[in-house]
């Protein structure tokens, strides 16, 4: 349950938001009511949402690399080594 707490915090979910999600997804109000496989599914769903929320924008990553001072290779170097 600790992992689900951490993911809910990353997502900015309130306790009520978690309860609403449990009710709509599993028909249960508390994580303690979940079967082991349901709890694992719940944590997996939270993890996926957290990853999707914080997935970096490739354009921003390129900008960060460019600002780092390292030389930015030409596209052709990647395509034709």
The verdict on residue 38 lying in a domain is: yes
Question: How many C-beta neighbours within 10 Å does residue 49 have?
Answer: 16
pTM of the model: 0.65
Q: What is the mean pLDDT of residues 4-32?
A: 93
How many domains does one find in the chain?
1
Distance of CA 3 to the CA centre of its chain: 12
The pLDDT, as a whole number, for residue 46 is 93
The verdict on residue 34 lying in a domain is: yes
The verdict on residue 61 lying in a domain is: yes
Domain ranges, residue 62? 2-68
Question: How many C-beta neighbours within 10 Å does residue 25 have?
Answer: 13
Q: What is the mean pLDDT of residues 5-22?
A: 92
Q: What are the pLDDT digits (tens) for 32-61?
A: 999 999 999 999 999 999 888 776 666 666
> Which CA distances in Å does 26 have to 1, 8, 21, 36, 73?
16, 17, 8, 12, 50
Q: Has residue 77 got a pLDDT over 60? A: no
């Amino acid at each position: 349950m600790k992992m689900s707490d951490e993911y809910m915090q990353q997502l900015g979910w309130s306790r009520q938001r978690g309860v609403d999600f449990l009710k709509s997804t599993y028909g249960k109000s508390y994580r303690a009511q979940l079967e082991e496989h349901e709890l694992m599914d719940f944590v997996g769903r939270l993890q996926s949402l957290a990853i999707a929320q914080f997935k970096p924008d490739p354009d921003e990553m390129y900008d960060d690399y460019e600002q780092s001072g390292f030389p930015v290779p030409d596209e052709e170097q990647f395509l034709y080594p």
